[in-house]
Structure 1
Amino acid sequence: MQANWHGVFPAAVTHFHDDESINLPATLDHLEKMIEAGIHGVIMLGTVGENCSLEMSEKLTVLKAAVEHVRGRIPVLSGVAETSTRLACRYAAEAQKIGADGLMVLPAMVYKADGHEAMAHFRTVAKASDLPIMIYNNPPSYNIDVTPEMFVDLADEPKFVCIKESSDNPRRITDLKNLTGDRFLLFCGVDDLVLESAMLGATGWVSGLVNAFPAENRLLWDLAMAGRYSEAVDVYRWYTPLLHLDTLPKLVQYIKLAVAECGYGSAKTRAPRLPIEGAELAKVLDIIRKAIATRPDAKAYFANA
């Protein structure tokens, strides 16, 4: 199975009204602004999209709206993050009916599976639809590590086409290349490791901060892909204080705060996530506002190419 996935894929935020109901117009307007900035694809309902805070019916409503809005212009993937394999299979089947282009499948939530159980979960979900799958490996967050050796085992399932590598260890890119060659598309899933991952062979980036800085995010990626590493490093150093926000427990609140500061929507999250306040709020706002004040001119970089 082939999937033409490459480049910058936002893990898109889900916007809410003040009463925590889903704000679909704001979600789609924000998505359109990122498309205009040049994203290559999008993942709805990932961690940043607050997947686990939404009911099944709400997830399907958001995904259907996104698919209809995009109209095939870019690939639309959906996160699959359920507490049981059965629920994950049900969601995968519904996502195919809606018209999603692929799935980003997480291990079953809550239960800490061992390697055998994790692989069984992925294989079972793969049988529930005909969609290509990005396997999301994030041991720091979910305490389940899909190792390079496990991906060798999983390589016999043709629906597994891509790996979102978020182990916080860029060595994994090389290990995966050495063990599986070009069998899988490799996406970086840690914002502040993207340049390292791109240099080692990642051809895609699932990003959180792109929600707030889509043009600058695309600039960094394009410079890396063009081999303009000196310039890429300059942009990366500007961007890194922001990118660190993606690696912290309150990444959703921080990213949504950046989204609001950049004029793309509200910082509202759904409980149990609460607004940040006090010294924490001041610290994060300082990082965001300094970045806004010193952001690079993306158009100027390529005008001088």
Structure 2
Amino acid sequence: MTVTWQGVYPAVTTQFNDDLSINFETTKVMVDTLIKEGVDGIIALGTVGENASHTREEKIAILKAVQEVVAGRVPVLSGVAETSTQFAVEFSQECEKIGIDGLMVLPGMIYKSCEAEAIHHYQQVARNCSLPIMVYNNPVTYGVDVGIEGMKVLAEEPNIVSIKEATEDTRRISELYSAFGDRFIVFGGVDDIALESLMLGCTGWISGLTNVFPQESVAIWKLAQQGRYTDALEIWRWFLPLLRLDTVPKLVQCIKLCEQLAGRGSELTRAPRMPLTGEERANVERIYNEAVATRIDLSKFNLD
């Protein structure tokens, strides 16, 4: 299976109306703006997209809306975050019917799988749909690590083509390349080690804060691709306090609040997620305001 995913893929938020129904038009405007600002792909219904807070019917409607506005300009991947392997298979088949470009598959939700169970989960999704699949390996959040030996098993599935590497251990990136060469497309999946991940060979970056500052994210990617690490570091050091907001339990609220502050969306989330208040909210506002006040002029890097 030939897949050429690379670059910056924001894990986009799902926008809501005041009654917490889905605001499809605002979601579509947000996605369109991100593409116009240079992102290379879209991840819908990831963690940041509040996948688990939607019904099956809502998920399909969101994907159709995103697919409509993207109109083939960049790849669209859907998160697959279901409570059982059977539900994951069924949802993946629905994604295939509507023509999504690929899947970012998580382990089964709620129940904490062991590695063998997670491998079986990924195998069943892969064997029951033909879409290209990205394995989302995030032991910090989901409690199971599919290691190198596990990925050797999954390498036998031809449509498992990619891995979102989110162990927070950058050594794993080198281990993946040493074990598999170019068998898998490797995306960095942790915002605050993204530049290090790109330096180690990741061909892409899946990001939450790209929703707020897409041009800076794309600039870091381009500079890293060109080997211009001194220039990339200048943007990176400015960006890092914001990127750390993607690594905390309330990352969705943090990112959506920043979107609201930037005039790019609403902070509304579905329960059990609640709005940030008190010191938590003040801290995010402080980080955002400091970033805006010290924002770097990207034109000096001559990236066009």
Offset from partner CA, 1:119-144 (integer Å, 9 cap, x none): 01000011221100000000000001
1:94-128 CA-to-partner distances (Å, cap 9, x unmatched) read: 00111100000000001111111110100001122
1:4, distance to aligned residue in structure 2 (A): 1.1
Q: Structure 2: how far apart are the matches of 1:193 and 1:163?
A: 16
SS in 2 for 1:206: strand
**SS of the counterpart of 2:269?**
coil
Counting only pairs closer than 5 Å after superposition, residues 133-144 of structure 1 correspond to structure 2 as 133-144=133-144
How far is 1:300 from its partner? 2.7
- What is the CA distance between 1:154 and its match in structure 2? 1.0
Counterpart amino acid of residue 133 in structure 2 = I
Structure 1's unaligned 5+ residue stretches are: none
Q: C-alpha offsets along residues 212-238 of structure 1, whole Å, 9 cap, x if unaligned?
A: 001111111111111100011111100
Q: Distance in 2 between matches of 1:141 and 1:114?
A: 14
Distance 1:101 1:259 in 2: 26
Query: More deviation in 291-300 or 180-189?
Result: 291-300
Q: In structure 2, how many angstroms separate the alpha carbons of the residues matched to 1:26 and 1:287?
A: 25
Show the 5 A alignment for 1:1-305: 1-302=1-302
Q: Distance in 2 between matches of 1:104 and 1:202?
A: 16
**Which stretch shows the higher mean deviation, 293-302 or 81-90?**
293-302
Residue type at the aligned position of 1:186: V
1:55-82 CA-to-partner distances (Å, cap 9, x unmatched) read 1110000001111111111000000000
Q: Is the 8 A contact 1:20 1:269 kept in 2?
A: yes
Computed over aligned residues only, the root mean square deviation of the Cα atoms, in angstroms, reads: 0.9
Q: Distance in 1 between matches of 2:299 and 2:18?
A: 36
Question: Aligned partner of 1:285: which letter?
Answer: E
**Contact 1:149–1:179 (CA<8 Å) still a contact in 2?**
no
- Residues 34-67 of structure 1, C-alpha deviation per residue, up to 9 Å, x if partnerless? 0001100011000000001111110000001111
Q: Tell me, in whole angstroms, the C-alpha distance in 2 between the residues paired with 1:290 and 1:178.
A: 40
Identity of aligned residues (%): 52
2:145 counterpart letter in structure 1: D
* Aligned residue type for 1:50: E
C-alpha separation in 1, matches of 2:287 and 2:220: 19
- Tell me which amino acid in the other structure corresponds to 2:267: A
Whole-Å separation in 2 of the counterparts to 1:33 and 1:27: 10
TM-score (norm 2): 0.98
> Shift of residue 299 of structure 1?
2.5
TM-score by length of 1: 0.98
Q: Secondary structure at the match of 1:205?
A: strand
Secondary structure of the equivalent of 1:236? Answer: helix
| Distance of 1:265 and 1:118 partners within structure 2 | 35
Q: What is the CA–CA distance in structure 1 between the aligned matches of 2:262 and 2:31, rounded to whole Å?
A: 14
Cα offsets for 1:249-284 (capped at 9, x unmatched): 000000001111111111111110000011111111
Amino acid corresponding to residue 172 of structure 1 in structure 2: R
Instruction: Give the counterpart letter for 2:271 in structure 1.
Output: A
Paired AA for residue 64 in structure 2: K
More off after superposition, 261-270 vs 291-300: 291-300
SS in 2 for 1:17: coil
Contact kept in structure 2, 1:78 and 1:100, CA below 8 Å: yes
What code does the residue aligned with 1:294 have? T
Q: 1:292, CA displacement in angstroms?
A: 1.2
Which range moves more in the overlay, 44-53 or 290-299? 290-299
Determine the C-alpha separation between the residues in 2 that align with 1:67 and 1:283: 35
Tell me which amino acid in the other structure corresponds to 1:3: V
Amino acid at match of 2:291: A
